[in-house]
Structure 1
Amino acid sequence: MPDLPTLVFVPGSWHRPTCYDKVTKILHEQHGLNCVSITLPSTTGNPAATFKDDIDAAREAISSETTQGRNVVVLAHSYGGMVGNSAIKGFTRPQDASTPTTGYVIGLVLIATGFTLTGLSFMDPFFGHPPPSWRVNSETGYAELVTPPRELFYHDLPAEEAEFWVSQLTTQSLKALFEGGEHAYSGWKDVPVWYIGTVEDRGLPVLAQRMQVGMAREMGGSVEHRELQTSHSPFLSQPDVTARIILEAVEAFTGKEAGNESTISGRGDAISVPMARLWQPFTWFRFGLPLAFGHVVGRSGKVDMAFAILCPRHVRASLLSHSTKVLAIMDHQIA
C-alpha cells in the first residue's frame, strides 16, 4: 500500500533476519505492507563488527525508504532495540517543521527489549559483567550462549521447530555489546512507541519489561503497552497476534486503516497494559506495581528497597544482558 509506511525489522543478538519471516509474510501477503528485514553486521561472523556497524545497516535501510518520500516504522527485538532506537536519530520529523509529512520515521515497535539511554553502550551500565545466560570468549571475540538457546528463546515452540531456529543462530560480536556508547541514542523520546511485552520470557523477565516501560513514560516517552503470553520470541510462537499488534501500531502512527483485520487470527490474545499512576494506588493492581516503580526510577534515577525485594539478586543477574541502567543502579545501592 503506497500510502502506508515501510516496516524495517531489526533482529536481536545471534539472530538472522529470517526470524521475522512468519510475521513479514502475513503483513506483506495479506495486508500489502512493504517489509524490510536487515542483517546486523555483528551477527555475520566478524568479531570486529561494531555497534556503529549495526546502526549503519539499519540507517541504510531507513534512508533507502525516506529518500523516496516513504515513511518508516522501525520494529526491533531484544539487542536490536538498542540498534533501532539509535538508528532513527535525524530521521524523525521536527515538531515545528513545515516540511512535507512523508519521508520520516514515524514510530517504533519494540519487542521484549529495553529503552536505550543516550551515550551508553549495551554493557556500560553493568560494569562489563555479562549475565549468566552468556559468556565472553576473548579468544574468538564472540559472546557465547551458556543457557540452552531453546530454553532462553523458544521454549513455547514445538520441539522440532525450536531446534530448527536454534540451528539458525549465528555468532555475536563482543565489540558491538561492549563498545560504541557514543553512538547510542534514546530514539524512543522522538516518536511514539508501541511495546510488545512477553509474559513468559526467560531472557528478559516481564517484571523488568514493565518497570522499563514505566521508566520510559516518566522520562517523556509516549508508550502504548501490549503483552503476549509468550517466550522471548513472539514473532515465532504467536506470529498472527504479533502481526495484529503491528497493524494496530501502524494505524495509530498514521491515523489510517492498515490491512484487513478479518484475516488476522491467532491462538493467543494480546493484553493491553494500562498506565500506572504513582498517586493513584488503584492503578497498581495486576500490572501496575513494576510500572509504578519504573515511574519512580524515571523521575528520580533511584530504585528504592521495595523494588529490590520484588526483584531478588538471582533475578537481577538474569536481566543484565537486556535491561537498562536502572537495574545496575539498584545492584549498586543494595550490594
Structure 2
Amino acid sequence: MSAPPTLVFIPGSWHKPTCYNEVTNLLQRQHKLKCISISLPSTAGNPAATFKDDLDAAREAISAETIHGRNVVVIAHSYGGMVGNSAIKGFTQRGFTKSQNQISATGYVIGLILIASGFTLSGLSFMDPFFGHPPPSWRVNNATGYAELVAPPRELFYHDLPENEAEFWVSQLTTQSLKALFEGGEHTYAGWINVPVWYIGTTEDRGLPVMVQRIQVGMAKAMGGNVEHRELHSSHCPFLSQPEMTVRIMVDAIETFAGKLKRNESTTCGQGDMIVAPKATILQPSTWLKFGLPLALGHIVGSCIFLFTWARRLWRFKIN
C-alpha cells in the first residue's frame, strides 16, 4: 500500500499558520497524516515582502516532501489559494519534467483543497481582478506598506466562534504586506488546471460572499477544472469554527486524490447536515437561484475567458 500524502497548509492574509492547529491535530491524531503549516513572509512584519517570497516558502515546503518520493496535497485558505495554486507548478504529474539534480524517487502534488478562496488565473496578481481597488473590509496604507483591516476582524472572520475564542484569534492576526497583494502577477499560475480540486465554500462568509465563491467554482469548471464542491454553514474560517466537519471533507478529498474513495456520492450529505454538495435540481426550485444561477454565471465567465485565451494564442501563433 502506498504511503499517505503529506498535507501542506497555506494560511491566508493576516493569519499565522497556527490557525490550522485544530484541524492538523485531528488529521495527525485520528488519521495519521503528516501536516506541514507554512508561514507566509508577507505576514511576518516586513512590508517589503512580496508574493514571490510567499511562493518560494510554499514551494520549498512542497519540494522537501516530493524530492523524497512523498506525494503532497496542498490546502490553502483565502489569499493563500493564490500562493497554493501557483506553488504547484512543476510538481504535478501533468507536464512534470525531472531535473538532472533530482533523485529517482519523486513524489507529486496530487490534489488541491481550497477553502473560501479563488481560482488563480496565470499572469494576474491578487488585486488585478479588483482593478486595484480594495474591498470595503480593508484599506491601503502606503505610509506603512501594509493592508489594514477596516471591518472589525471578529465580524469579518470569526463571527460564529464563541466570544473568547474569537477575541483570541483576533489577537493572533498579523500585518499583511501590500506588495504581495498588488504585485507578482508574473509569478502566478493556474495550478488548479493540473490537479483535481476540492473546494470548501462558506455560506455565512462576510469576507468572501458565498455567491462569489459559487461563481468562481462555475468559472473553474467551465475552463476545464476537475472541481468537487462542498459547503459548510460557516464564517470565513471553518477550520476554527467547524474543525471536525472541515476535516471530514478534507479526508474525503485526500482519499479521492489517492484513489481510495471510488464514489464521490458517498461524501454528499443532505440539506439537514452541515455539509452540502451544491447542486441545482429541477424538483427543488429553491436550488435554482441558490446554486444554479451563480454556477451558471460562473460557467459563462469561464467560457468567455477560455475563448479569449484560445483566440489570443491563435493570433500570436499566426503573427509568429
| Alignment partners' CA distance in 2, 1:175 and 1:193 | 28
Q: Give the letter aligned to residue 274 of structure 1.
A: K
| Alignment partners' CA distance in 2, 1:300 and 1:88 | 25
Aligned match for 1:240, one of 223, 244, 257: 244
Change (3 A) 1:157 1:178: same
The Cα shift of 1:275 comes to: 7.2
| Alignment partners' CA distance in 2, 1:151 and 1:283 | 27
| Alignment partners' CA distance in 2, 1:83 and 1:276 | 34
Task: Show the counterpart of 1:87.
Answer: 87
8 Å contact from structure 1 (residues 276, 291) kept in 2: no
| Alignment partners' CA distance in 1, 2:23 and 2:297 | 33
| Alignment partners' CA distance in 2, 1:195 and 1:68 | 28
Aligned match for 2:151, one of 133, 147, 152: 147
Is 1:55 the counterpart of 2:55? The answer is: yes
8 Å contact from structure 1 (residues 238, 268) kept in 2: no
163-172 or 131-140: bigger deviation: 131-140
8 Å contact from structure 2 (residues 114, 197) kept in 1: yes
Task: Show the counterpart of 2:199.
Answer: 195
The Cα shift of 1:288 comes to: 1.3
| Alignment partners' CA distance in 2, 1:97 and 1:64 | 17
The Cα shift of 1:222 comes to: 0.4
Task: Show the counterpart of 2:254.
Answer: 250
Structure 1 segment 209-224 matched on structure 2, within 5 A:
209-224=213-228
CA distances 1:72-92 after superposition (whole Å, capped 9, x unpaired): 000000000000000000000
Is the partner of 2:297 in helix, strand or coil? helix
The Cα shift of 1:184 comes to: 0.4
Task: Show the counterpart of 2:276.
Answer: 271
The Cα shift of 1:119 comes to: 0.1
CA distances 1:253-293 after superposition (whole Å, capped 9, x unpaired): 00126xxxxxxxxx96211123799xxx9984541110011
Change (3 A) 1:153 1:63: same
| Alignment partners' CA distance in 1, 2:97 and 2:45 | 42
Task: Show the counterpart of 1:43.
Answer: 43
Task: Show the counterpart of 2:109.
Answer: 105
Task: Show the counterpart of 2:208.
Answer: 204
| Alignment partners' CA distance in 2, 1:141 and 1:2 | 46
Task: Point out where structure 1 has 5 or more consecutive residues left out of the alignment.
Answer: 258-266, 303-335
| Alignment partners' CA distance in 2, 1:254 and 1:235 | 22
| Alignment partners' CA distance in 1, 2:245 and 2:135 | 30
TM-score normalized by the length of structure 2: 0.86
Task: Show the counterpart of 1:229.
Answer: 233
8 Å contact from structure 1 (residues 276, 289) kept in 2: no
Is 1:172 the counterpart of 2:171? The answer is: no
| Alignment partners' CA distance in 2, 1:90 and 1:61 | 14
Task: Point out where structure 2 has 5 or more consecutive residues left out of the alignment.
Answer: 262-271, 307-320
Q: Give the letter aligned to residue 230 of structure 1.
A: S
The Cα shift of 1:120 comes to: 0.4
8 Å contact from structure 1 (residues 225, 274) kept in 2: no
Is the partner of 2:181 in helix, strand or coil? helix
| Alignment partners' CA distance in 2, 1:47 and 1:251 | 39
Q: Give the letter aligned to residue 137 of structure 1.
A: N
Runs of 4+ in 1 over 4 A off after TM superposition: 95-102
8 Å contact from structure 1 (residues 78, 113) kept in 2: yes
Task: Show the counterpart of 2:29.
Answer: 29
Task: Show the counterpart of 1:12.
Answer: 12
TM-score normalized by the length of structure 1: 0.82
The Cα shift of 1:101 comes to: 9.0
